[in-house]
Structure formats: C-alpha cells, structure tokens
Amino acid sequence: MLKRYWFKCDWTLLIPVFILLVIGVLMMFSTSSIVGFSNYNDAYFFIKRHLIYLGLGLVALGVGLVVPHQFYRKKISLLFLFMVALLGITLSPLGVKIGGAQRWLNLGVLQFQPVEVAKFVVVIFIATGLNRSKEYLSSFFKGCFPMLLITSIPLGLLVLQPDLGNTGMILVVMFTLFFLSQMPIKHILTLVSMAIAVLTGVILTHAYQLQRITSFLNPWEDPLGKNYHMVQSLTAIGSGGFWGLGLGESKLKYFYLPLQYSDFIFSIICEEGGFIFASIIVCLYVSILLKTFHIVKNAAEPYSFFLGMGCCFLVCFQAFINIVVVIGLFPVTGIPLTFISFGGTSLITSLFYIGVILNISNSIVLKEYGINK
C-alpha cells in the first residue's frame, strides 16, 4: 500500500519532466548538428555532450531525492559561505570570461556557473527565513528587510559579473515566495521598489545593458546589427505558423539564427513545431508548477512548502523568461530553456531541483503513514 501511494505521489511530476528531456534531445539533434559539423567537424559534438550532461543530471536528480531536504536548512550557514566563496572566485583571475561577462569556473570536463549554486542557496535561506511566525514577518525591519539585506551579498556579486538576467530571476523567485507567505503586501512592494531602483541604476551605468533595453523597445531599428538575434528569432517563430514546418525542417538554424541550440532553441521549436507544439511545451511547464503546488501544500511546515515552491520556480520561471525573451516580450537575458537548451550546469541543477521536490513529496507520504525519516 505504501509503495503504491508513493509511486502515485511522484510519477505525475516526473512524466512532464521526462517528456521535456526527450524533446530536448530531439531538438538538440535538429538544431546543433550543423553547428557541430561546421565548428568541430563533428555533427554530434553538442549532442554527445548534451547526453553526458543529461546522465549527470539524472544522477543529480537521484541525489536530490535521497538527501533529506531538512539537511539544507541545518547547513544553511556553511552553504551560504560556500556560495559567496564560489561567486568571489568567479570574479578572480580563476574565473572564465566569455562575451564580456565573467560568470564561469572551468572544472575541466565542463564550465560551471556558480550562479546555479547561488539560486538554490538563496531559496534555502528564504525558505528558512519564512519559516517564522506571522508576527515576526509582519515587521519590516525585523522580518523582511534583513532577508533582502543578507541576500544582497550574493546578488551584488552577480551584478559585478555582470549577470543581470539571473539576478532578476532570483529576485522574482524571492518576491513570489514573499507573496505566498504571510508577509504584508506593502512590505513586498517596498522591497520590489528598492530592487527595481538598484537594477535600474546598474543598467544605466552599463552601456551594453542599456542597449539591450533600447533594442527590445524597437527591434526593427537595426535588423542586421544589434537587433539581429531578435529579428531572426521572430522570423523563425512566424515561419512556423500553427502547425510548423516539421521536425528537422527549420531554415533559420542554418546560420541565420545564432545560438539556435541554446538560448534561442524555442524559436526553432516554434518554426518546426508551430504554435501547437510550442503550446504543448508551455503546458508541460505549467503542469510541473501545478503538480509541485499540489505536493507541497500538504507539507508539515512552511520551510518544506517554500523550499519546494522555490525549487519549482527556479525551474519554471527560467523557462518562462526564456520564452518571453525569444518571442520579443522581454529584453535578451541569456537564460536557457529548462530541460531543453544545451547547457550542462542548468540541466544538471534543474534536475536536482526536481529531486528535492520529490524528496519533499516522499517525506509527506511517510509522515502520513507515521514513519519519521
């Protein structure tokens, strides 16, 4: 009986995840072979690496499932220091600079982005902070402001890289968790206003970030220059129509649309699969969000609820931000499409987040059966 219920509790979350992973492999075959053959004389260059990352990601999912989620709360101080150290090292000469941003560490087999560690640790910290009484959270200077002040350390390091895309996403996840808590709306709006003011100041002091905003507002101003990515993305989406051109039939992937296997893979999905296939993918992410909420709403304590929802938001918000970018509703951020885009760090950590949610699910089931584990 316990095994049957346990399985029933988990598989409805895993199915949309595995479907997205299969779509990711198929789209990697479709989008990356031409680039792999052109740049590395190996049509399967990116595909082989994507499959390796997928294998590591499934291991990470298993780790997230096995390690008790309460462990992270107990070790939050060490995890926070570890996160800050990683972000500091990234800004040192040991960090890898690509395209004007210093966001990577070279681990030999892959280049690792410490921001993925920062996302998870910040969620743990916020979940721990929100695991408080209503009276404590109702005080701005005792409950709300200290959380934003402490998280400003890793967020400040991310701004220095600079990585405003992930900084903004972390802030969105934080404020969404605040909204789900018993924190007064006026306090949340105050924190949001402070964050917007700081990010606006950073954008105004970085010319290329400001250029992204102006390009977003008028993508047709320079279609062959600074707005080339967005124009080609919109062209690919429009070419797909309702039903799409068919899997593997994209024309824009032949060196018209840059990064067609990573940041702009959703554009090729729209071109080859059309509106109908793109809608299915969006529905899969929505189903992960709804299923996670269905799981964690029965958690025994607020910490488990906020940790589970935070991990889910890291998975789904990343996907939604990528989608709104490629369809021209948001400035270019460089955030990949979860479970589908090429990128080792994102794929591995996203599967780890799913494992953490499954661990919370299993702990709820065991609790119902009177088993403390």
**What is the per-residue pLDDT across 45-68, written as a single tens digit (0 to 9) for each?**
999 999 999 999 999 999 999 999
Average pLDDT over residues 188-212: 80
Mean pLDDT for the chain? 86
**So what's the pLDDT on residue 211?**
73
**So what's the pLDDT on residue 2?**
47
State both tokens at 12: 């409805």
Q: Which of 137-146, 189-198, 332-341 has the lowest mean pLDDT?
A: 137-146
Average pLDDT over residues 161-187: 89
Q: Which residues contact 334 (CB under 8 A, 6 or more apart)?
A: 165, 263
H helices of 102-252, in order, are: 115-130, 134-137, 145-160, 164-180, 185-205, 207-217, 228-240
The pTM is what? 0.92
Residue bearing the bigger pLDDT, 348 or 6: 348
Average pLDDT over residues 277-288: 96
String of DSSP letters for 80-95: HHHHHHHHHHHTSTTE
Distance of CA 187 to the CA centre of its chain: 26
Q: What is the percent of the chain with per-residue pLDDT over 70, rounded to a whole number?
A: 91
**So what's the pLDDT on residue 370?**
56
**So what's the pLDDT on residue 5?**
45
**So what's the pLDDT on residue 202?**
78
pLDDT at 215 over 80: no
**What is the per-residue pLDDT across 10-42, written as a single tens digit (0 to 9) for each?**
788 999 999 999 999 999 998 988 888 888 888
State both tokens at 313: 């938001």
d(CA 320, CA 315): 9
d(CA 327, CA 216): 11
**What is the per-residue pLDDT across 297-343, written as a single tens digit (0 to 9) for each?**
988 889 999 999 999 999 999 999 999 999 888 888 778 999 999 87
pLDDT at 189 over 60: yes
Average pLDDT over residues 206-231: 73
**So what's the pLDDT on residue 369?**
58
**So what's the pLDDT on residue 317?**
94
**So what's the pLDDT on residue 368?**
60
Average pLDDT over residues 3-9: 48
pLDDT at 167 over 80: yes
Residue bearing the bigger pLDDT, 198 or 227: 198
Q: How far is CA 127 from CA 54, 163, 305, in A?
A: 28, 23, 8
Q: Quickly state the pLDDT bin for 7 (edges 50, 70, 90).
A: very low
**So what's the pLDDT on residue 300?**
81
